[in-house]
Structure 1
């Protein structure tokens, strides 16, 4: 007989504890910039539905009725139990009185939690035009204001036993809600939230606050997404229906104005600039104004180019912040990243935290990423990629499949190639790489630098990628690539093997890995990798390309991790 799903009204309960060991370091949401309508300490009433615990190893694969309806599965998994009823008055009220989501009983899981809280709108709040609903939730959520659904994230429509689409991390996520006529009313208003766990958890969890504001303005950015010798491109994202103004000029001046019509995304292209020159700018949008930032155009071909290098940040925010501050003081031309910028690429909250931390650097330096395995999940519901827009990547190479991320770009006379190590097995990436490198050498570029996430050589936990060694190293060596930069292993390693110089830079904030071989107290390495220096330390590196290549790795305090090294440029 199939297990039954039960609905429970709980009056005495224990707060759910599902936090990972490092979640106490997660910053609170940023200070409210409007009216605090609901605080994270607000009183809630919860009603839950329970079901049998999903056997270990099945949770991640269990299919719900929602997935069947979406065509992702043929039939619901019987281990989920039969769906129970939703609260009779949902989304206006619940019968439960529990102030928090309870801990499930032994052998049970909480399949869904339905919560209600209220907030007041006064005459003084009548001009509110935007709401910011800030949630820290596990793992899928939907919310209603006065009976109107205003968001749904990671939770398919379906019965009460529907699983969240993915396991979510601990970061706060902000949802921006434009206030349509009739959404809010003077006096008492109701916020209703439905939250479900993924198949890997036994209960959902939720913290929430709600901000109302009458102004509209900048949400993300501005970001300097590209510079050349004579142009610069600046992007800023705003609330809907907001126009934006860029004020900019040479040196400290803000003497030139460019305007962008009402919208959400605003792209400003500055042309006819002088090479190797310094400029200032700021952006105004709605009632908000950015800080004043500076940037420099690229120098002429043949001049020195300074590149910042780091990777594998994930949730290491404090280390990341220190590295960003150091790199901003290095006089860089741009930054390349070896991937794993966040813990979960499917988590918008992770990306909001990342973009907030990197704001000052990205406003002044172009930021060019390789996409790591933890970054995956940057897809829209229709399967198209959001990464191209999030980072203003160049147009995809012809024929590149959706959800793949290999690309290249010229920065002055230096050719940057970004491989997708999540798709090393695709022959079309190899074919593209061969043609791309040949074309770059034919153009006479001064230097070729390749950035990927999971590189061919590493003495950390992962040990280097077999496909990269077998199929990609011969191509890179044949075209005399100057340096291959990777991450994935959370260490620093530099070496040269099979005619290829490489750098493993995975010390951007994620927990460091042990050196697994080839050092005192460890066994001999089974794979020859030509290692010249290896260290288990957080770091960034500066690569200077002039008549040769100089590489200087530094710790978060700015001290050298090892002495700077120089290489001759590769000659075809």
Structure 2
């Protein structure tokens, strides 16, 4: 039995993991190395399809028979009409140049200006024009667990696999309303960027998949009359072995609750087994999921207590009869709940880990050695948030070794694009775009600087109200864009933050503001508020330029260690070699 009266995290998590491994092996609990499972490609972006412009109604088999006689053309498929002087893909000279270069690697076609999917009358569906696409692919693996599909699109579409509907997105389900992203419009949540939307659809039923030749058919709609065209391409992948795509990671920690997330390859029900010792006597689940990306919240926990946990995914497809060998179970990890008092604690911060996962992974190794309670990431977790593989390669794969044990509080950067994937992959308080949480004697306020911050904007109104109601001894804000830049190309800083948020920081006595965006370390002070840029988490670093109110700018990959005591904040900047490059303190 491991003692559960430890007051603080041990200094080196690598040593903790080794000790834990020995203890758990003695008690009969498995502790194994972790491997992330990659999917097998079935159809990729840019592959060839046959196509036709036809009616949405009629027999699918007849459509597929006609399509077999057509000449195959490369995706993406881009439809424009004569009334468009500039379609969505040629809005500027650079885009036009890129499009001209890629013209032989795409298929363009003209469509009628009135080609619109009218959702108000389902009976008229058969008479509406759509883009039909079809292709075949081979599948020969002996095992299949689940499918996932990533699509690039502008409008609604339906995907069929061997004559069975596999996925419908952006269109009305017959007899029901069209699906939405809930509060997406108010929060600025997007499915893509300027040229097209792009989104991953996980946990698709593999039942229609056959050994040998398979046929994939897509029906693409132009749903809105004011939409300038049609765009479509897709990637289809299969998971052919049991395992984890993302091993367990901690989210939204508190004194009495914490959330555990993970992604499996199997369509499953998630369970978290946990306890204060090696006997994991408690079990939590979220039975409503049945997909592959899982989120389970543990409640009624004891404050300031170390818990051990592991996750289990019980396979739902195909139907099983008490076949435990088809389930997957993680190694055992641990976490510590937040204290209820105002005692001292330590947290770590870094940001802009995008683009260079090797550097990010090296930094994570350093973070594992720090005795911290949690971490903060100041944004730009990916090079581009619309691509699912970027989230996997640039953020999760390097960071999971830390996130098993330590929650990372995140905020959105401009490269993340306020994409819907962020809201699927993380579990955060409030509306998840901007939020606050308390820990010890401090209150933290996370802002989304990629969204409006002007007067009367929902975010700025929330910030003023949250700061006005805060009674915490320390007030700490974190966001992506710095008010005061530390590199020449971005001087003097990000205007919306500087013009509208900074006056609130000063009015309500914020102590520390953490930002990223500039790929370096920097700090300064203005009117009693300290500003720190921690953007050296992996991306290529920028040359520094010191301008008031900044007093120091250093071009190095690094992270911060911040000690919070009753009357003092101590901030240390440590480079990737473990050397301290700066330290300073903020006193009450």
* TM-score of the two chains, using structure 2 as the length reference: 0.65
Residue 269 of structure 2 is aligned with which of 243, 252, 256? 243
Between 325-334 and 107-116, report the one with greater CA deviation. 107-116
For 2:140 and 2:311, locate their aligned partners in 1 and report how far apart those are by CA, in whole Å.
32
Contact 1:345 1:351 in 2 (8 A): yes
For 2:137 and 2:202, locate their aligned partners in 1 and report how far apart those are by CA, in whole Å.
18
* TM-superposition CA deviations, 1:409-467 (whole Å, max 9, x none): 112331001123232214243343233222212xxx22111112112111223221233
Residue 480 of structure 2 is aligned with which of 453, 468, 478? 453
For 1:311 and 1:536, locate their aligned partners in 2 and report how far apart those are by CA, in whole Å.
14
Paired position in structure 1 for 2:5: none
Any unmatched runs of 5+ in structure 2? 1-34, 53-61, 78-97, 110-132, 173-190, 222-230, 315-326
Residue 418 of structure 1 is aligned with which of 443, 446, 469? 446
Structure (1/2) with the larger helix percentage: 2
Contact 1:238 1:263 in 2 (8 A): no
SS of structure 2 residue aligned to 1:453: coil
Paired position in structure 2 for 1:462: 490
Paired position in structure 2 for 1:434: 464
For 1:94 and 1:511, locate their aligned partners in 2 and report how far apart those are by CA, in whole Å.
50
* TM-superposition CA deviations, 1:253-276 (whole Å, max 9, x none): 43433344352444231424252x
Shift of 1:220: 4.3
Distance 1:426 1:361, change over 3 A: farther
Contact 1:218 1:285 in 2 (8 A): no
For 2:346 and 2:368, locate their aligned partners in 1 and report how far apart those are by CA, in whole Å.
12
Paired position in structure 2 for 1:224: 250
Distance 1:426 1:289, change over 3 A: farther
Distance 1:389 1:301, change over 3 A: farther
For 1:250 and 1:176, locate their aligned partners in 2 and report how far apart those are by CA, in whole Å.
33
Shift of 1:168: 8.0
> Does residue 146 of structure 2 align to residue 130 of structure 1?
yes
Residue 288 of structure 1 is aligned with which of 294, 315, 328? 328
Q: Could you say which structure has the greater relative contact order, defined with CA pairs below 8 angstroms and 6 or more residues apart?
A: 2
Contact 2:73 2:107 in 1 (8 A): no
For 1:417 and 1:155, locate their aligned partners in 2 and report how far apart those are by CA, in whole Å.
37
Aligned CA RMSD, in angstroms, stands at: 4.4
Paired position in structure 2 for 1:327: 367
Paired position in structure 1 for 2:68: 93
Paired position in structure 2 for 1:56: none
Contact 2:259 2:295 in 1 (8 A): no
* TM-superposition CA deviations, 1:34-73 (whole Å, max 9, x none): xx584989x9755689xxxxxxxxxxxxxxxxxxxxxxxx
Distance 1:154 1:509, change over 3 A: farther
For 1:406 and 1:99, locate their aligned partners in 2 and report how far apart those are by CA, in whole Å.
41
Distance 1:138 1:360, change over 3 A: farther
> Does residue 152 of structure 2 align to residue 177 of structure 1?
no
Distance 1:251 1:167, change over 3 A: farther
SS of structure 2 residue aligned to 1:189: strand
Any unmatched runs of 5+ in structure 1? 1-28, 50-86, 157-163, 197-203, 380-385, 397-403, 519-524
Paired position in structure 2 for 1:9: none
Paired position in structure 1 for 2:126: none
Paired position in structure 2 for 1:556: 576
> Does residue 370 of structure 2 align to residue 370 of structure 1?
no
Aligned residues: 454
Residue 534 of structure 2 is aligned with which of 480, 505, 515? 505
* TM-superposition CA deviations, 1:312-349 (whole Å, max 9, x none): 22322222222222212212111112122122233333
* TM-superposition CA deviations, 1:264-306 (whole Å, max 9, x none): 444231424252x322110011211123212122245232211
For 2:103 and 2:423, locate their aligned partners in 1 and report how far apart those are by CA, in whole Å.
42
For 2:73 and 2:470, locate their aligned partners in 1 and report how far apart those are by CA, in whole Å.
64
Distance 1:423 1:238, change over 3 A: same
For 2:66 and 2:336, locate their aligned partners in 1 and report how far apart those are by CA, in whole Å.
53
For 1:325 and 1:436, locate their aligned partners in 2 and report how far apart those are by CA, in whole Å.
35
Shift of 1:535: 0.9
Pairing of 1:103-182 with structure 2 (within 5 A): 108=103, 110-111=106-107, 116-120=135-139, 128=144, 130-132=146-148, 144-148=160-164, 150-151=166-167, 166=193, 175-180=202-207
> Does residue 254 of structure 2 align to residue 279 of structure 1?
no
Shift of 1:369: 1.6
> Does residue 404 of structure 2 align to residue 342 of structure 1?
no
Any runs of at least 4 consecutive aligned residues in structure 1 with deviations exceeding 6 A, and if so which?
97-107, 135-142, 152-156, 171-174, 193-196, 204-207
Paired position in structure 1 for 2:7: none
* TM-superposition CA deviations, 1:387-413 (whole Å, max 9, x none): 5553222124xxxxxxx9322111233
Paired position in structure 2 for 1:190: 215
For 2:574 and 2:219, locate their aligned partners in 1 and report how far apart those are by CA, in whole Å.
47
Shift of 1:504: 0.7
Shift of 1:483: 0.7
Paired position in structure 2 for 1:26: none
Paired position in structure 1 for 2:11: none
Distance 1:93 1:316, change over 3 A: farther
SS of structure 1 residue aligned to 2:287: strand
Paired position in structure 1 for 2:341: 301
Residue 506 of structure 2 is aligned with which of 472, 477, 480? 477
